[in-house]
């Protein structure tokens, strides 16, 4: 069986030029004794915006792995696929993020709900789970309500997993993640337990599951929410997963997946401590913030690189509504804190780097500029070879930023710091 390793970290490489620089951060982590396995992810939506094919992600990763002699595993994630988008990822992905959020709340068949409820008397009443202080108290109404809310989504996950399995030659030949994060309401730990029981009944060999957690996970900036509540929820979810593996025979390596939207720095120490206390694994997916390191590197390079960054910012600023619309639920931009393009043109390369580079304690950091640029990668895509040639010409300074970002700001606090 193709098994997902204990620690995996998802990186995006929108323009397929930074796989080597990304991999260098995993090499540095491995050299310090912790194996974190890279997973390159890119969603159908990003491929559509950039005009790329899924195969390009695999090819860029494979080239980096070859060039750097990476001997550990690596994966390519068909990120947030559904039945209507999965097919073009089948040959080039070994990891599938099965997104069934759209089916949450769809009415399941009454007969299926009844079958589930009859099979699972243990999900009613007082449920004691090792590692959770306060036992869950589940009324029959609450259980039935949760099953009605999630069963159609779980059945859809089963349909997609079987669709992939038939085409890959078996369910043991790919890694299945089930994601329910792109929805309005978070899933509570008792709901996660019921969802895992449904997934087991549906026969989905889920190796990692991405619930929606409480709080805001905006793209490319830190977590906004109650840290104490997150900590409790995260630890309860870990306990629920360990319990569900024993109780329902799910894959023993089943773990939580955090679709972080990148840079949830204030959560990292909590996640690290919870992993240490429990021995749990983790998949942490980041968004395509590597592209922002490209911007930082090109700005620092000055000359034509800085000029292009200024043009991209000006275009993004003028088309802010268009670029923000698809991400409205996951960005918070205060337009008053965005310099207009004329003011931005006075920024030196170093000013731009400091505004965009995510060091929250730096007074020059500007989360609004960062978020606007983050959602404006289409502008760079439209530049085509002009953009790619600048990346190649400045690969050293860009790559340095890419590696340092992943290693210093992600690998260290998640996997290495004491
Ligand atoms: Zn997600």
Q: Rounded to the nearest whole angstrom, what is the distance from the C-alpha of residue 181 to the centroid of ligand 1?
A: 5
Number of structural domains, the chain?
2
Q: Rounded to the nearest whole angstrom, what is the distance from the C-alpha of residue 82 to the centroid of ligand 1?
A: 13
Cβ neighbours for 285, distance < 8 A, ≥ 6 positions apart: 9, 10, 39, 41, 77, 79, 97, 210, 257, 258, 259, 260
Whether 127 and 254 map to the same domain: the answer is yes
Q: Rounded to the nearest whole angstrom, what is the distance from the C-alpha of residue 129 to the centroid of ligand 1?
A: 27
Q: Rounded to the nearest whole angstrom, what is the distance from the C-alpha of residue 252 to the centroid of ligand 1?
A: 23
Q: Measured between alpha carbons, how far is 253 from 282 in angstroms, rounded to an integer?
A: 10
Q: Assess contact for 355 and 324: CB atoms under 8 A.
A: no
Q: Rounded to the nearest whole angstrom, what is the distance from the C-alpha of residue 101 to the centroid of ligand 1?
A: 10
Q: Rounded to the nearest whole angstrom, what is the distance from the C-alpha of residue 261 to the centroid of ligand 1?
A: 8
Band (pLDDT 50/70/90 cuts) for residue 418 is confident
Q: pLDDT of 332-387, one tens digit each?
A: 999 999 999 999 999 999 999 999 999 999 999 999 999 999 999 999 999 999 99
The alpha carbon of 334 is separated from its chain's Cα centroid by a whole number of angstroms, namely: 24
Of 225, 254, 288, at which residue does a domain stop? Answer: 288
What are the CA-CA distances from residue 69 to residues 61, 72, 257, 404 (Å)?
12, 9, 28, 20
Q: pLDDT of 36-81, one tens digit each?
A: 999 999 999 889 988 899 999 999 999 999 999 999 999 999 999 9
Is 414 contained in some domain?
A: no
Is 25 contained in some domain?
A: yes
Whether 274 and 325 map to the same domain: the answer is no
Whether 22 and 139 map to the same domain: the answer is yes
Band (pLDDT 50/70/90 cuts) for residue 188 is very high
Is 220 contained in some domain?
A: yes
* φ, ψ at 69 (rounded to 5°): 65, 35
pLDDT above 90 for 269: yes
Is 415 contained in some domain?
A: no
Range with the poorest average pLDDT among 77-86, 106-115, 322-331: 322-331
Of 242, 272, 288, at which residue does a domain stop? Answer: 288
Q: Rounded to the nearest whole angstrom, what is the distance from the C-alpha of residue 286 to the centroid of ligand 1?
A: 9
Whether 108 and 128 map to the same domain: the answer is yes
Q: Rounded to the nearest whole angstrom, what is the distance from the C-alpha of residue 124 to the centroid of ligand 1?
A: 30
Whether 207 and 148 map to the same domain: the answer is yes
Band (pLDDT 50/70/90 cuts) for residue 4 is very high
Whether 68 and 180 map to the same domain: the answer is yes
Q: Rounded to the nearest whole angstrom, what is the distance from the C-alpha of residue 187 to the centroid of ligand 1?
A: 14
Is 412 contained in some domain?
A: no
Pairing of strands 136-138, 125-127: antiparallel
**pLDDT value of residue 50:** 86
Domain enclosing residue 303, as ranges: 291-407
Q: Rounded to the nearest whole angstrom, what is the distance from the C-alpha of residue 179 to the centroid of ligand 1?
A: 6
Q: Rounded to the nearest whole angstrom, what is the distance from the C-alpha of residue 214 to the centroid of ligand 1?
A: 14
Is 190 contained in some domain?
A: yes
Whether 241 and 309 map to the same domain: the answer is no
Is 418 contained in some domain?
A: no
**pLDDT value of residue 363:** 98
Q: Rounded to the nearest whole angstrom, what is the distance from the C-alpha of residue 24 to the centroid of ligand 1?
A: 25
Whether 257 and 348 map to the same domain: the answer is no
Whether 284 and 310 map to the same domain: the answer is no
pTM of the predicted model as reported, rounded to 2 decimal places: 0.96
pLDDT above 90 for 87: yes
Whether 107 and 218 map to the same domain: the answer is yes
Q: pLDDT of 214-236, one tens digit each?
A: 999 999 999 999 999 999 999 99
Q: Rounded to the nearest whole angstrom, what is the distance from the C-alpha of residue 211 to the centroid of ligand 1?
A: 9
Q: Rounded to the nearest whole angstrom, what is the distance from the C-alpha of residue 99 to the centroid of ligand 1?
A: 8
Of 271, 288, 305, at which residue does a domain stop? Answer: 288
Whichever domain contains 179, its CATH number is 3.20.20
Is 1 contained in some domain?
A: no
Q: Rounded to the nearest whole angstrom, what is the distance from the C-alpha of residue 379 to the centroid of ligand 1?
A: 23
Average pLDDT over residues 249-259: 98
Whether 187 and 309 map to the same domain: the answer is no
**pLDDT value of residue 294:** 98
pLDDT above 90 for 329: no
Average pLDDT, rounded, for the chain: 97
Whether 354 and 395 map to the same domain: the answer is yes
Q: Rounded to the nearest whole angstrom, what is the distance from the C-alpha of residue 125 to the centroid of ligand 1?
A: 32
**pLDDT value of residue 238:** 98
């Amino acid at each position: 069986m193709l098994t997902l390793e204990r620690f995996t970290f998802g990186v995006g490489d929108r323009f397929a030029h930074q796989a080597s620089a990304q991999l260098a951060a995993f090499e540095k982590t491995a050299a310090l004794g912790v194996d974190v396995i890279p997973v390159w992810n890119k969603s159908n939506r990003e491929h559509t915006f950039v005009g790329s094919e899924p195969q390009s992600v695999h090819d860029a990763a494979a080239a980096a792995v070859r060039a750097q002699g990476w001997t550990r595993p690596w994966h390519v994630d068909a990120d947030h696929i559904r039945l209507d988008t999965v097919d073009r990822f089948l040959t080039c992905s070994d990891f599938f993020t099965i997104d069934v959020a759209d089916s949450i709340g769809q009415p399941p068949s009454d007969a299926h709900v009844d079958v589930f409820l009859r099979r699972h008397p243990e999900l009613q009443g007082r449920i004691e789970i090792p590692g959770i202080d306060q036992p869950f108290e589940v009324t029959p109404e609450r259980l039935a309500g949760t099953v009605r809310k999630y069963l159609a989504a779980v059945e859809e996950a089963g349909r997609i997993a079987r669709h992939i399995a038939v085409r890959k030659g078996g369910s043991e030949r790919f890694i299945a993640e089930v994601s329910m994060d792109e929805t309005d309401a978070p899933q509570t730990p008792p709901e996660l337990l019921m969802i895992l029981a449904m997934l087991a009944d549906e026969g989905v060999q889920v190796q990692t599951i991405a619930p929606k957690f409480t709080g805001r996970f905006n793209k490319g900036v830190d977590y906004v929410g109650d840290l104490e509540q997150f900590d409790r929820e995260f630890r309860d979810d870990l306990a629920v997963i360990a319990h569900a593996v024993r109780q329902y025979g799910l894959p023993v390596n089943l773990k939580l997946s955090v679709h972080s939207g990148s840079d949830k720095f204030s959560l990292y120490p909590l996640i690290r401590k919870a992993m240490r206390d429990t021995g749990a694994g983790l998949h942490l997916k980041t968004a395509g913030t590597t592209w922002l390191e490209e911007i930082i590197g090109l700005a620092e390079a000055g000359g034509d690189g800085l000029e292009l960054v200024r043009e991209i910012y000006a275009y993004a600023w003028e088309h802010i509504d268009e670029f923000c619309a698809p991400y409205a639920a996951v960005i918070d931009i205060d337009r008053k804190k965005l310099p207009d393009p004329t003011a931005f043109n006075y920024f030196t390369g170093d000013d731009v780097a400091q505004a965009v580079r995510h060091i929250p304690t730096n007074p020059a950091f500007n989360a609004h500029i960062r978020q606007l640029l983050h959602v404006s990668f289409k502008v760079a895509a439209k530049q085509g070879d002009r953009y790619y040639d600048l990346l190649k010409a400045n690969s050293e300074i860009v790559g340095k930023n890419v590696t340092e970002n992943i290693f210093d700001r992600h690998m260290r606090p998640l996997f290495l710091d004491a």
